[in-house]
Amino acid sequence: MKTMELIAPCHFGLEAVLKREIQDLGYEISQVEDGRVTFYGDAEAVAYANIFLRTTERILIKIGKVHAETFDELFQRTKELPWEDYLPKDGKFWIAKANSIKSKLFSPSDIQSIMKKAIVERLKGVYHQEWFPETGASYPLRVAFMKDEALIGLDTSGVSLHKRGYRQMTAKAPITETLAAALILLTPWKGDRILVDPFCGSGTFPIEAALIAANMAPGMNRSFLAEDWKELVPRKHWYHALDEARERVNLDVRTDIQGYDIDGEIVAAARANAKMAGVADLIHFQQRPVSQLNHPKKYGFVITNPPYGERLEEKAALPALYREMGEAFERLDSWSEYIITSYEDAEKYIGKKAAKNRKIYNGMLKTYFYVFPGPKPPKKSGKEGT
């Protein structure tokens, strides 16, 4: 099977998590850059990466990398690429997205137009036809210019991979599923440990944790554009990946995953989302303010996305809210807490300094992932069950 380079974009600051995920699937990394990881894989890897990877936004097949400082140069370099290896005669293709950083060519619409013309010219010569009906499957392309180098990828996913298919209702300022999964995987939490999200909103952190605990592949219940590319990614690869995903699921796993929110309607939405994801029995949702955060067991985890106060009237309530959070953490003195927020005074009002914080961009919003590690639990003696 032909080996290709596949590009997996991710949130800035979380490349190491995605790299580990790709390696765990058995693929070799070719490059790690800001906001993306590139790896080697065949047609089967396209299916496996789309279905199994939790922390990437999409999977692109790398068509090539070209240097262009003028539109004439962009046209020629684009035309030289082997488009016929990827695009059939009837394929519907277009430059779905073009962005440019520190490059002489910076107009997205002009980049899109020039590259489309170049691809058409290449295919005219190969397929010996002057007109392309574009009535077949869709082949969207993405181009990223950086310092006059354009990385060109063919999007195999379609709708972003953070759309798992379970989140029908969302709370205000939701965290994406891919970001939530990546932050959970950054922590030492495992499925047999306690996890509580006191600001659960639509349930993304608890649901992603439950999917991880039950070994459920995030892409099991959705479709992908490349499923229609029968020549490039044969259907059998999707069937094999999906069969393996189903075999790996373990819904008998014992979990203690809880989600709280002060808004009863939001809690009901979180329950509905968990049911849609197939993990409703693994999570306990409850209407409860953070001031009532407590748990009888030791060595648990709080992983949460509390309010940031994006509007002025909300910002005034943040000191009291973060103070309540800090008081709850004092009660849970053996627990570890992980918080993603853009609120600059989070540590001040929580009342303790984070052991570390990691800068992460949530969309265009700069946030920080604060780490407050608790003591490690004592090792099990191995006498349990005797």
Radius of gyration of the CA atoms of the chain, in A: 23
Q: Which pLDDT belongs to residue 363?
A: 76
Phi and psi angles of residue 117, each rounded to the nearest 5 degrees, phi first = -60, -40
Paired residues of 365 in beta bridges: 362
DSSP E strands in 111-224: the ranges are: 138-146, 149-155, 194-197
Grouping H, G, I as helix, E, B as strand and the rest as coil, residue 365 is strand
The span from the CA of 73 to the CA of 157, in Å, is: 29
Looking at every residue in the chain, the average pLDDT score rounds to 94
Query: Residue 25 corresponds to which tokens in the numbers above?
Result: 């699937």
- In three-state form (DSSP H/G/I as H, E/B as E, the rest C), the secondary structure along 8-66 is EECCCCCHHHHHHHHHHCCCCEEEEECCEEEEEECHHHHHHHHHHCCCCCCCEEEEEEE
Read off the pLDDT of residues 326-383 as tens digits, 9 standing for 90 and up: 999 999 999 999 999 999 999 999 999 999 999 998 877 889 999 999 999 988 765 4
Q: Which pLDDT belongs to residue 381?
A: 64
C-beta separation of 11 from 360 below 8 A: yes
Sole residue written with tokens 């397929």? 127
The span from the CA of 279 to the CA of 205, in Å, is: 12
Q: Which pLDDT belongs to residue 171?
A: 60
Phi and psi angles of residue 287, each rounded to the nearest 5 degrees, phi first = -80, 115
- Please name the residues in contact with 191: beta carbons below 8 A apart, sequence gap of 6 or more: 209, 212, 213, 214, 253, 255
Phi and psi angles of residue 195, each rounded to the nearest 5 degrees, phi first = -140, 130
Read off the pLDDT of residues 99-121 as tens digits, 9 standing for 90 and up: 999 999 999 999 999 999 999 99
Which percentage of the chain shows pLDDT scores above 70? 96
The span from the CA of 328 to the CA of 325, in Å, is: 5
The dihedral formed by the CA atoms of 78, 82, 86 and 87, expressed in degrees to the nearest 10:
70
Grouping H, G, I as helix, E, B as strand and the rest as coil, residue 154 is strand
Q: Which pLDDT belongs to residue 174?
A: 75
In this prediction the pTM is: 0.94
What angle do helix axes 177-186 and 204-213 make, rounded to 10 degrees?
60
Under-50 pLDDT residues of the chain? 383-386
The span from the CA of 266 to the CA of 292, in Å, is: 17
